[in-house]
Amino acid sequence: MSDAQMKTIKDMPREDYFVRGHGACPGCGVAVAVKNIARIIGSDATVYVPASCLIVFSSLYPTAAFKWPFLYTAFENTGAVISGIKAAYRRRGKETTVIGMAGDGGTFDIGLQALSGAADRNEDVIYVCLDNEAYMNTGIQRSGATPFGAWTTTSPVGKKIQGKREFKKDLGAIVAAHGVPYMATLSIAHFNDFLKKVQRAKEVKGFRFLHILTPCVPGWRSEAAKSVAISRLAVETGMWTLYEIDHGEEKLTYKPKMMVPVKEYLQMQGRFRHMSEEDIQKLQAWICEKWKHHYYEEIPVPPCELEKGRKDLITDEDPLHGV
Amino acid sequence: MYEVRFHGRGGQGAVMAAQALAEAAVLEGYYAQAFPYFGAERRGAPVRAFARIDEDKISIKSQIYEPDMLVILDESLLDIEPVAEGLRSGGKVVINSTKTPEKVDLGVEVDCASVDATSIALETIKAPIVNTSILGAFAKIEDIIPLESILNAIMNRFGEKLGHQAGVMNSEAARLAYERTVVGRCRGTRKLVERMQWLPTWDELPPGTALPAKTIDGVDVGPGSAWQNFTGTWRTSSPRYLKEKCIRCLRCWFSCPEGCIDRLDDDYEKWDYRYCKGCGICADVCPVQAIEMIRGVHEW
């Protein structure tokens, strides 16, 4: 990369490679993530998208929103197809960034074997998992990424069972276990962190994995305007942790000053509306374990008292946050 | 056979409206069916739904091309779709509009009931979901199904799915709409929008069905051609930018899912309202309240 390191979003190029006029829902988290990845990666890339919301809203036949060469086949083979694209370019002696952008269904469940294969062979590609925590494209079915307690059409709310009974699969650990050169988790609310990680992914050779939490307005039953705020709260509550593993070296890239009770996160989303106090405590206990795992810090259950007079999260002054 | 075609936007509940109407018809002793148009609908995108009512069993399963009745949940669809296409002579129209029927230009002159369903929905169910209000207006202009049955169907359908309270609020919306509906005749001066008919055929595509970026018959296809989809018609509220407050932090520019915020050379912003879907993220992430959301489709 010839241009200097981009440190803040002020340094980001203006040129869009994911253009206006795509058909995503208003407030779509996937669109925010994809659009900014495209800006940061720049002109020279080829993208593959399996069955997902992204393929539907980015390519309303005969138009397409990506300005990059663009391929689409089946649901389960993102890892395999991007390996193949890279091999074809190598054969032709062309150096280019090959990116696969799959949803959580196409990564956690259906595409896991192809992902594992590509990671195992250390293919020189970027794999992006756009995690909206259910199969949203087909109308909100539960996936391995759906959090505990969440309503989906296949984990409905009934008299005996309310929402999903299993906790979210730790995909980051699965990918890290392959010993890939670079993997990171991203949030659309932590702009500069996002920028740094996508840039790093572009530089590194070998298999790179970016895992992004992308709020889904209809699936999470949330307000369109709150997609970014929810992402931020996910990090502050510990539902989502921001870290990277760069050639074996694990590093936290952002640590909340204080753990916000998960209740605040749940309240913003209709998919958790039914949750009983008992279930919330169960989820909270799970988060506290996760918190301990990532931040090496014990949090008693139930966690920290509700913060009184906490400032709006958006104005905090962490250098990695915002601008 | 009595056929109704619903035109709405994803999230307005056109499908639920069609189902509730069919259920009301069944309560009246008719046979009925209701189904949506199967496509890649997203929230805010134009959608269609259909309902058929008959005294005998209905065996036809196709979409409705020549409806007796059009139910239009969003007036702005008239500008982007040939909504009145195929409407039978003597057909009728129900439209969600703040205008009186005489001021609505549908493209064909027919009997028309207009109601400000958005305001009623905001008043009663506190959300711009207009499907139940519009059914109240339907009962006013068409006597095939009386209001009582429509209210019962709404209670059944919404009460069962969303809880008793939702059923009560939604039937209240329909009742209120019935009272406020104005019946008249709409104008027919508008020329119907033409649907884009052109698509490449298999022999126009190179092997592997790759579609290169090119222009055919004045239409761009392939990579980057999505700019032709002006999604700005989806929005129900619009962001207004107060430049004097802006600190040029670029949060809105980064967070806009549409990418419809132009970042100018001096890092001030400019909105491209042709694409803005009005999600409100820009106003939400702005740390200095330099962006405010105003209800309605506006440009500044």
Closest by Cβ to A314, choosing from B224, B260, B287: B287
Q: Which contiguous run of DSSP H or E holds residue A219?
A: helix A217-220
User: Do B128 and B228 reside in the same domain of the chain?
Assistant: no
Q: Domain check: are B27 and B99 in the same one?
A: yes
Instruction: Report, in this order, helix, strand and coil percent for chain A, each rounded to 5.
Output: 35, 15, 50
**pTM to 2 decimals?**
0.81
pLDDT in tens, B50-72: 999 999 999 998 999 999 999 99
Q: Report the run of H or E that residue B47 belongs to, with start and end.
A: strand B46-54
**Least confident residue range of A97-101, A180-184, B138-142, B188-192:** B188-192
- Place A309 in a pLDDT band, splitting at 50, 70 and 90: very low
Verify that B178 and B237 share a domain, yes or no.
no
Confidence of residue A112 (pLDDT cuts 50, 70, 90): very high
**How far is Cα B145 from Cα B32, in angstroms, rounded to an integer?**
12
Per the domain annotation, does B25 fall within a domain? yes
In which band, very low, low, confident or very high, does the pLDDT at A1 lie, cut at 50, 70 and 90? very low
- In this structure, how many other beta carbons lie within 10 angstroms of the beta carbon of residue A169? 17
Mark whether B127 and B50 lie in a shared domain. Answer: yes
ipTM for the complex shown:
0.89
pLDDT of the residue at B228: 85
Domain check: are B28 and B163 in the same one?
yes
Query: Distance, in angstroms, between B104 CA and closest chain A CA?
Result: 28
In tens, the pLDDT along A247-306 reads 999 999 998 888 888 989 999 999 999 999 889 989 998 998 888 888 887 766 555 444
A:268-307 residues touching chain B, CB 8 A cutoff: none
Domain end point (choices B169, B185, B201): B185
Q: Are B254 and A36 in contact (CB under 8 A)?
A: yes
Instruction: Give me the pLDDT at residue A307, please.
Output: 43
Evaluate whether B19 touches B157 at the Cβ level (below 8 Å). Answer: yes
pLDDT digits (tens, 9 = 90+) for A50-92: 999 999 899 877 788 999 998 888 899 999 999 999 999 999 9
Helices B117-124 and B164-180 pack at an angle, to 10 degrees, of: 140
A192 touches chain B (CB under 8 A): no
- Shared domain for B62 and B97, answered yes or no, is yes
Look at the alpha carbons of B258, B263, B267, B269 in this order and tell me if their dihedral is positive or negative.
negative
pLDDT surpassing 60 at residue A313: no
Domain-embedded: residue B174 = yes
Q: Which residues contact B13 (CB under 8 A, 6 or more apart)?
A: B73, B129, B130, B131, B132
A188 touches B: beta carbon within 8 Å: yes
Q: Which residues of B touch A188 (CB under 8 A)?
A: 255
A66 with B224: Cβ contact below 8 A? yes
Instruction: Give the gap in angstroms from C-alpha B109 to the nearest C-alpha of chain A.
Output: 33
Q: What is the pLDDT of residues A4-14, one digit of tens each?
A: 688 888 899 99
Same domain, B146 and B281: no
Q: Does some domain include residue B79?
A: yes
Share of chain A above pLDDT 90, in %: 70
Q: How far apart are CA B111 and CA B88, in angstroms?
A: 12
Helix (H, G, I), strand (E, B) or coil at B264: coil
Query: How would residue A323 be classed by pLDDT, with cut points 50, 70 and 90?
Result: very low
CATH number of the domain that residue B18 is part of: 3.40.920.10
Out of B185, B220, B249, pick the residue that ends a domain. Answer: B185
Cβ count within 10 A of residue B199: 11
Angle between helical axes of B147-162 and B14-27 (0-180°, round to 10) = 120
pLDDT (0 to 100) of residue A315: 37
Counting beta carbons within 10 angstroms of the beta carbon of residue B243, is it exposed (0 to 12), middle (13 to 18) or buried (19 or more)?
exposed
Q: What is the pLDDT of residues A187-203, one digit of tens each?
A: 999 999 999 999 999 99
Number of domains within chain B: 2
The answer to whether residue B66 is domain-embedded is yes
Nearest-angstrom CA–CA distance, A78 and A67: 20
Q: What angle do CA A138, A144, A148 make, to 5 degrees?
A: 105
Q: What is the pLDDT of residue B258?
A: 93
Cα separations in angstroms, A311 against A191, A193, A317: 20, 21, 11
Q: What is the pLDDT of residue A322?
A: 34
Instruction: Please list, in sequence order, all residues whose beta carbon lies within 8 angstroms of the beta carbon of residue A312, skipping any fewer than 6 positions away.
Output: none
Nearest to B272 by CA among B281, B280, B282, B262: B262
- Whether residue B197 is contained in a domain is answered as no
Please report whether residue B191 resides in a domain. no
The predicted pLDDT at position A81 comes to 96
Whole-number pLDDT of residue A321: 36
Has domain A9-315 been given CATH number 3.40.50.970?
yes
Question: Tokens at residue B211, please?
Answer: 């579609």
List the Cα angle B26/B29/B33 in 5-degree steps. Answer: 35
SS3 A133: coil
B194 in any annotated domain:
no
Of B42, B223, B253, the CB nearest to A66: B223
Per-residue confidence band for A314, with pLDDT thresholds at 50, 70 and 90: very low
- B191: exposed, middle or buried (Cβ count in 10 Å: 0-12, 13-18, 19+): exposed
B177 and B218 co-located in one domain: no
In Å, how far is A34's CA from the nearest CA of chain B?
9
Which residue, B135, B167, B185, sits at the end of a domain? Answer: B185
Question: Distance of CA B2 to CAs A155, A159, A178, B60, B122, Å?
Answer: 38, 40, 62, 12, 31
Residues 202-221 of A with CB under 8 A from B: 217-218
User: Quick one: pLDDT at residue A306?
Assistant: 42
> What is chain A's mean pLDDT, rounded?
88
Q: Are residues B178 and B63 in the same domain?
A: yes
Query: Which phi and psi angles does A255 have, rounded to 5°?
Result: -125, 125
For A41, A169, B133, B139, the CA distances from B16, given in Å and listed in that order, are: 43, 35, 12, 16
The one-digit pLDDT tens for each residue of chain B (300 residues) are: 999 999 998 888 899 999 999 999 999 999 999 998 866 667 777 889 999 999 999 999 899 999 999 999 998 888 888 898 899 988 999 999 999 999 999 888 999 999 999 999 988 988 888 999 999 999 999 888 999 999 999 998 888 877 888 889 999 999 999 999 999 999 888 888 776 555 666 666 665 556 677 777 777 888 888 888 888 888 888 999 999 999 999 999 999 999 999 999 999 999 999 999 999 999 999 999 999 999 888 998
Q: How many helices (H) and strands (E) does chain B have?
A: 7, 13
Helix boundaries (H) for A8-147? 29-41, 53-58, 78-91, 112-120
**Structure tokens given for A90:** 């190598």
Asked if the Cβ–Cβ distance from A24 to B257 is below 8 Å, we say yes
Cβ within 8 Å, pair B231-A225: no
- Which residue(s) pair with B221 in the sheet? B214
Give the tokens for residue B59.
């065996």
- Say if A314 is an interface residue toward chain B (CB within 8 Å): yes
Assigned token pair, A186? 């991203």
Determine the Cα–Cα distance for residues B117 and B149; give it in Å rounded to an integer.
Answer: 20
**Residue B165 shares a structural domain with residue B48:** yes
Structural domain includes residue B229: yes
Amino acid at B61: K
CATH of the domain at B285: 3.30.70.20
For residue B172, give its domain range: 2-185
Q: Is B218 helix (H, G, I), strand (E, B) or coil?
A: coil
Q: Are residues B42 and B127 in the same domain?
A: yes
Residue A12 tokens, joined = 């980001």
User: What is the CB neighbour count within 10 angstroms for residue B282?
Assistant: 29
Contacts of B45 in chain A (CB under 8 A): 23
